[in-house]
Structure 1
Amino acid sequence: MRNITIIGSGFAGLTAARELRKHNIDATIIMISPRRELHFLPSSIWIPAGLRQAERLKVPLDNFLTKHRIDFVEASATGLKDGGRIVVTDRGELGNDHLIIATGGRFIRQLPGIEHALIPCEGIKVGEEMGRRLDALKGGTIAVGFATNPNEPGAMRGGPMFEFLFIIDALLRRQGKRPGFEIVFFSPAPRPGARLGERAVDGLLQEMKNRGIATRIGRNIMRFEERKVVLDGGEIDADLILFMPGLTGPAWLENTDLPLSTGGMIKADELCRVEGLPNVWVAGDAGSFPGPDWMPKQAHQADLQAIAVAANIAAIESGQQPITRFKPELVCIVDMLDSGMLVFRNQRFNFVGPKMKLFHWLKRLFERHYLTTFR
């Protein structure tokens, strides 16, 4: 029987597995991952406010794996052999006929003193720690910012940082503590959030102004200290620092012959094929793909790439040529705890909705719908 191996159990990996079965592919599907559960990080924005508990965002995958007949190997990839036909893990080697790399990316932790900042999207535990530190503060300065991979400007995740910024402001107001705090947003980009579109950037900056959030934008970040963000030409004294660095590929890619972009990610084409390696595919944050300069690194885009991968594998397995291109698309609700702003962008449209309570509840409904698939 043919073997399709998926490295990763996040959004791209799970979507690829589900879509393969939708195409009625009767092959052995092996999923390699160090954990047998999905951590739904998009909802970690609500942990500090108590809207979500960490355990609720950890979804066991046993039912999903059984339903879709997936053999799970609890291991971490460490390298590849034979042009991707063999995956090397910390628990042995596994062969395949098709390989899908869906491991996600890795945050660049190169700035001096970055250990003094919390990186929210590193995991659910960080959301819990953020909540503990906020509860302990009676006043002071909170600095929130993000940056990108200087060698691959699209490799960033800025959306969640806008959400943490506004949610913290709303939470402190709800608690009656906001007058005792200064909140500062920082970014080396002069127009942070440009991927969302110019109207969205204008709206986000205006929202900061309306809420009394100070901005330090367009200045390079030099280093972090225990209670300080040092910028090129200025400093921010801070009691709590939240920072999202740029993304690069997983460290184990360096032990392979995979073609890598200047930003350290796997080079792929519009069909999600890894350049020069037959039947090796990539979906999600680990890949460097052709597309518009606004194309995001987000779960929705990872899902769309995984859908294309499954369709192309199905074509090959039925003796046809792969022709399915992934669709570049950005869908984002910037949540503000009691309201939200919807942004949609594709090759033809860039829609920015007004701030509305409806969008906050739509985001919560989407979470429920999405997680039902895996529960």
Structure 2
Amino acid sequence: MPEIAIIGSGFAALTTVRELRRRGIDAPVTVISPRDELHYVPSSIWIPAGLRSADGLRLPLTRFLARHKVRFVKASVTALDAARHEITTDTGAVLRADHIVIAAGARFLKKLPGIENAIIPCEGIAAAEAIAARLPSIRKGTIAIGMATNPNEPGAIRGGPMFEYAFILDRMLRKDGRRDDVRMVFFSPSARPGQRLGERAVDRILAEMARRGIETHLGHKMVRIDPDRVVTEGGEIAADLILFQPGMTGPAWLADTGLPLSPGGMVRADEFCRVEGLEGLWVAGDSGSYPGPDWLPKQAHQADLQAKAVAANIAAQLKGKAPATRFTPELVCIMDSLDRGMLVFRRGRINLTLPALRPLHWLKRAFEHHYLRAYR
């Protein structure tokens, strides 16, 4: 019987498992990952405010994997032989599968000098805990929040959480009566950060920053991050707390696989989420570089849509049919500000933006509850 191996244990990997089983595929499935938990990072923005706890966002996968009859290998992938369909791990084990799904996520570029002096929020739940630990000590001073992209692949960016942190921290400081004494600055090499959301959304975001008194330092190339300042070609920002989201690239082990890679270091895929030119190799989520509009997002929702296409196409091949399911390019984002949320939706020619509304905050929380039911 054909075997399926999935590299990763995040959104794309687990959605692939669910969709394969939903389609009646009973082939052996192996998940390879160093982590046997799902970390629901989208809700980590609420950890500093106490709306969520770190433990509440770490979901053990033991029951989920057993329910779907999945073999779990706790290991990190170190190599992949595309011709032999063999995966090598840091335990020394070599696994072979007829279909291999690369859903290992991305890693953040850390070439900027001094980047270790900043907290990178989307690195995970621990980063949100670090922000929560630092914030109470800032009674006066400056918080600098910024984002950048991969210069070789402009779409390899996850900027939405940085806007959320700017608005959430502003709200928290106001509630504590500290906002007048804490300067906030948002910085980016882009003159209009967040352009994948659409021009109207960028206008709303920048207008909201101005309304809240969040200063902007935009359009200047970054030079370095010192312990107490952000240095750009357009000047310096002295700061007591620095949050910075760099651009993304693929997992380091991809470099020696011989897989087709994009200029930004991600696996090149077609509209069916197949690795270009290779049979039985698939990619879903942030590890891949896909055809589509220039606003194609790097976010959990898009990873889920790509995983659904992967599962549908593997199921088709196992039934002797050609892959026919294209992934849907779609951006859905509720940018939260602790008590309100701004909705951005893009699909095809549709680009909808709704202003910050209280019901959208609660919708984001309700979606989290709904999504995680499958893993509890």
TM-score, structure 1 as length reference: 0.99
* Match of residue 109 from structure 1: 110
Q: Is 1:159 aligned to 2:160, yes or no?
A: yes
Q: Is 1:26 aligned to 2:26, yes or no?
A: yes
* Match of residue 227 from structure 1: 228
Cα distance per residue 1:80-121 (max 9 Å; x no partner)? 125261101112100101000000000000000101100011
Q: Following the alignment from structure 2 to structure 1, what is the Cα–Cα distance between the partners of residues 70 and 349?
A: 38
Contact map agreement 1:78 1:255 (CA 8 A) in 2: no
SS in 2 for 1:219: coil
Aligned residues: 375
SS in 2 for 1:327: coil
How far off is 1:63 after superposition? 1.4
Contact map agreement 1:116 1:241 (CA 8 A) in 2: yes
* Match of residue 4 from structure 1: 4
Residues 248-327 of structure 1: matches in 2 within 5 Å?
248-327=249-328
* Match of residue 75 from structure 1: 75
Q: Is 1:200 aligned to 2:217, yes or no?
A: no
Q: Following the alignment from structure 1 to structure 2, what is the Cα–Cα distance between the partners of residues 171 and 71?
A: 44
Q: Following the alignment from structure 1 to structure 2, what is the Cα–Cα distance between the partners of residues 336 and 96?
A: 44
Contact map agreement 1:83 1:257 (CA 8 A) in 2: no
* Amino acid across the alignment from 1:199: R
* Amino acid across the alignment from 1:30: T
* Amino acid across the alignment from 1:272: C
Q: Is 1:178 aligned to 2:179, yes or no?
A: yes
Q: Following the alignment from structure 2 to structure 1, what is the Cα–Cα distance between the partners of residues 39 and 64?
A: 14
* Match of residue 39 from structure 2: 39
How far off is 1:137 after superposition? 1.3
Q: Is 1:16 aligned to 2:16, yes or no?
A: yes
Q: Following the alignment from structure 1 to structure 2, what is the Cα–Cα distance between the partners of residues 26 and 355?
A: 45
Q: Following the alignment from structure 1 to structure 2, what is the Cα–Cα distance between the partners of residues 51 and 178?
A: 20
* Match of residue 57 from structure 1: 57
* Amino acid across the alignment from 1:136: S
Residues 120-135 of structure 1: matches in 2 within 5 Å?
120-135=121-136
Contact map agreement 1:76 1:90 (CA 8 A) in 2: yes
* Amino acid across the alignment from 1:130: I
Q: Following the alignment from structure 2 to structure 1, what is the Cα–Cα distance between the partners of residues 112 and 195?
A: 23
Contact map agreement 1:84 1:99 (CA 8 A) in 2: no
How far off is 1:136 after superposition? 1.4
How far off is 1:242 after superposition? 0.2
Cα distance per residue 1:41-62 (max 9 Å; x no partner)? 0001001111111000000111
SS in 1 for 2:6: strand
Question: What RMSD in Å do the two structures reach over aligned CA positions?
Answer: 0.7
Residues 209-220 of structure 1: matches in 2 within 5 Å?
209-220=210-221
* Amino acid across the alignment from 1:57: L
Contact map agreement 2:32 2:73 (CA 8 A) in 1: yes
* Amino acid across the alignment from 1:77: V
SS in 2 for 1:313: helix
* Amino acid across the alignment from 2:14: L
Stretch moving more, 242-251 or 75-84: 75-84
* Amino acid across the alignment from 2:178: K
Contact map agreement 2:189 2:220 (CA 8 A) in 1: yes
Moved over 2 A (4+): none
Cα distance per residue 1:145-192 (max 9 Å; x no partner)? 000000000000000000000000000011111111000000011111
Q: Following the alignment from structure 1 to structure 2, what is the Cα–Cα distance between the partners of residues 277 and 189?
A: 36
Q: Following the alignment from structure 1 to structure 2, what is the Cα–Cα distance between the partners of residues 227 and 174?
A: 26
* Amino acid across the alignment from 2:5: T
Cα distance per residue 1:282-306 (max 9 Å; x no partner)? 0000000000000100000000000
SS in 2 for 1:361: helix
SS in 2 for 1:201: helix
Stretch moving more, 329-338 or 76-85: 76-85
* Match of residue 341 from structure 1: 342
Q: Following the alignment from structure 2 to structure 1, what is the Cα–Cα distance between the partners of residues 83 and 286?
A: 21
TM-score, structure 2 as length reference: 0.99
Q: Following the alignment from structure 2 to structure 1, what is the Cα–Cα distance between the partners of residues 150 and 362?
A: 33
Q: Following the alignment from structure 2 to structure 1, what is the Cα–Cα distance between the partners of residues 235 and 84?
A: 48
* Amino acid across the alignment from 1:83: A
SS in 2 for 1:83: coil
Q: Following the alignment from structure 1 to structure 2, what is the Cα–Cα distance between the partners of residues 212 and 354?
A: 18
Cα distance per residue 1:121-140 (max 9 Å; x no partner)? 11111111101100111111
Cα gap change, 1:114 to 1:93, in 2 (>3 Å): same
SS in 1 for 2:286: coil
SS in 2 for 1:63: helix
- Structure 1 vs Structure 2: percent identity of aligned residues? 61
* Amino acid across the alignment from 1:79: A
Could you tell me which runs of 5 or more consecutive residues in structure 1 were left unpaired when the two chains were aligned.
none
Q: Is 1:189 aligned to 2:190, yes or no?
A: yes
SS in 1 for 2:110: coil
How far off is 1:255 after superposition? 2.2
Contact map agreement 1:84 1:277 (CA 8 A) in 2: no
